Amino acid sequence: MATSTKWQYLERDPLSSQRQLSIKGRRIKARTLAGAFFNAEDPRTVEQIAEDWNVPIEAVREAIAYVESKPIELEQDFRFEEALVELAGHNEPGSFGRAIRRIPPEVKTRLRREIYGDEDRK
């Protein structure tokens, strides 16, 4: 089940097949902003991230709080993307990170249902 918290700056991107939340109207994933904050090698401050992405400081704080809450959709999106990478052969020797096989739509639909537990969105 998706997060039920009411967010001022976050929403589900209607153009994305992913379930995780983004900055409203910007298509910037909350995880992207939080990732810059939690980056072990080069962490950014909330103020720096807000300036880098041209978003309000409170939007960055909200994105961090959302990611820290560990919503189920973040895990589901990760599992779905990892499964697609594996099925397409991106990790196989000689693939150089590229897809080496096509994933049929019915396989994607089945996978989406298995991971998200509902009907295919995209």
Give yes or no: residues 82 and 32 share one domain: no
- Beta bridge mates, 10: 23
pTM: 0.81
In our burial notation (b when 16+ CB lie closer than 10 A, e otherwise), range 37-75 reads beeeeeebebeebbeebebeeebbbbbbebbeeebebbe
Q: Do 99 and 58 belong to one domain?
A: no
Decide if 61 is inside a domain: yes
What pLDDT score does 43 carry? 96
Structurally, the chain folds into a number of domains equal to 2
Mean pLDDT of 83-97: 91
In this structure, are residues 20 and 63 in contact, taking their beta carbons and an 8 Å threshold? no
Per-residue model confidence as pLDDT tens digits over 1-28: 445 678 999 999 999 989 999 999 999 9
| Domain co-membership, 62 together with 27 | yes
pLDDT at 118: 73
Residue 120 has pLDDT above 60, yes or no: no
* Residues 23 and 52 reside in one and the same domain: yes
pLDDT, residue 5, reads: 75
19 and 62 inside one domain? yes
Helix (H), strand (E) at residue 21 = strand 21-23
56-68: average pLDDT: 98
Please state, in angstroms and rounded to a whole number, the distance separating the CA atoms of residues 22 and 9. Answer: 8
pLDDT averaged over every residue in the chain: 92
* 4 part of a folded domain: no
What is the per-residue pLDDT for 46?
98
Determine, yes or no, domain membership for 82: yes
Q: What percent of the chain has pLDDT over 70?
A: 93
106: domain range? Answer: 72-116
Domain end among 52, 68, 84: 68
Confidence bin at 52 (pLDDT 50/70/90) = very high
The reply to whether 60 falls in a domain is yes
